Amino acid sequence: MLTPYAIGLVTIHAMTDYLGQAFPELSQRLPKTSLADLPTPVDARSIVIGEQQRTISLKHDEHSSKIYGGNKVRKLEYLLRRACDRNAQRVATFGTVASNHALATALHAASLNLGCTCFLSHQIKTANVPLALNMHLQNGTEIVHFGGDRAARVRTLRRNLSDQRCWVIPVGGSTWLGVLGFINAGLELAEQIDAKLVPEPQRLYVANGTMATSAGLALGLALAGLRTEVHAVRVTHDYIANPEAMRRLIAKTVTLMNRFDASFPADLGNKVRLIFRDEFFGGGYAHTTEAADKAIGLAREQLRLALDTTYTGKAMAALLHDARRPELADQSLLFWNTYNSRPLPVTPDRPEDTSALPAEFLRYFD
């Protein structure tokens, strides 16, 4: 059987490593394991808003993987490769009970023969919660309830990680290393624009959770010389996603990339065109809004696109809001879909064997 490290070595596809092609030294020093089905498709579709017809472009990251799609897999190509290179036997990460990041990490780690521990916290009950928990159980994920004050959380970490060869991935995979996945994605979109698959957008709309996706896209598009504005639609609390934290993440990424490869432009952070959008967050994380619900309905009926209330529905709400503005009538708009499209092969029913599920999480099956 191949070790995880060997699997990582043999699955790199240079044709989709746009960043590595542009900066070979960077690729050598920061390799990635190919987990995603790239490039993801782009197309343009017509929508009717009120009495107005508009054409918008779509970037289909919902099709990024047959295992589990969405935006997380691009980050995991770098993060899980690092875990393999450090000879980890398992990875650990964090999220809420319905976290796309936690589930994507667990499923893709399993594909590399890595175990996975997910430290999960409570959230508002949505239809996705029991599905996510049952998928973790089917996958063999070690599920740990992560709550209480800081001291309690530290004790939980020590109790579960102290004697394991484990590589820890922060919430959302949003480190400078995770950002690289979306610098690569920005370059991928630039290639598709150059091939005239879609026009160069004046505005790109994307859900902004833990910020690596938005930061990477803004850097990648700037690196490609495009003038597209990335509209990062905040869907998490402002202590997680805020403009100052975004600036720090961008600056750290650029500094480290230039340190690994001196040909990487040290001033790239000054060239990003990123707009932080706060007005669509609503009442809290995973709380839907009227605008998000309407956006999800329109996307389903007119775009044949399935969105969610936590992330992509709010990003689409921002695009539709702006598309109604007369002064933007001639602008090209692009929606970057970060929501997994692959159906999970589980039901939302309460599992017969609950021994691997923390008792605190049984409430989501009531």
What local confidence, expressed as pLDDT, does residue 3 receive? 27
**One domain for residues 146 and 38:** no
**One domain for residues 67 and 98:** no
In a domain, 135, yes or no: yes
Helix (H, G, I), strand (E, B) or coil at 244: helix
In a domain, 13, yes or no: no
**CB-based burial of residue 289 (10 Å sphere; 0-12 exposed, 13-18 middle, 19+ buried)?**
middle
Q: For residue 48, give its domain range.
A: 24-71+174-337
CA gyration radius for the chain?
A: 20
**One domain for residues 166 and 315:** no
N-to-C CA span, the chain? 42
Cα(171)–Cα(308) distance, integer angstroms? 20
**One domain for residues 95 and 226:** no
In a domain, 5, yes or no: no
**One domain for residues 291 and 188:** yes
**One domain for residues 244 and 293:** yes
**One domain for residues 49 and 142:** no
In a domain, 323, yes or no: yes
What local confidence, expressed as pLDDT, does residue 15 receive? 61
In a domain, 344, yes or no: no
**One domain for residues 108 and 235:** no
**One domain for residues 35 and 78:** no
In a domain, 1, yes or no: no
- pLDDT profile of the chain (366 residues), mean per 10: 28 67 92 94 94 95 96 98 95 97 98 97 95 98 96 94 87 96 98 97 98 98 98 96 98 97 97 98 93 97 96 98 96 98 95 96 96
**Overall domain count for the chain:** 2
**One domain for residues 62 and 82:** no
Cα(195)–Cα(189) distance, integer angstroms? 10
In a domain, 179, yes or no: yes
**One domain for residues 195 and 151:** no
Helix (H, G, I), strand (E, B) or coil at 93: strand
Classify 344 in phi/psi space as left (phi over 0), alpha (psi -120 to 50) or beta: beta
In a domain, 226, yes or no: yes
**One domain for residues 67 and 178:** yes
CATH of the domain at 253: 3.40.50.1100
Which among 191, 177, 171, 131 is positioned nearest to 351, based on CA atoms?
131
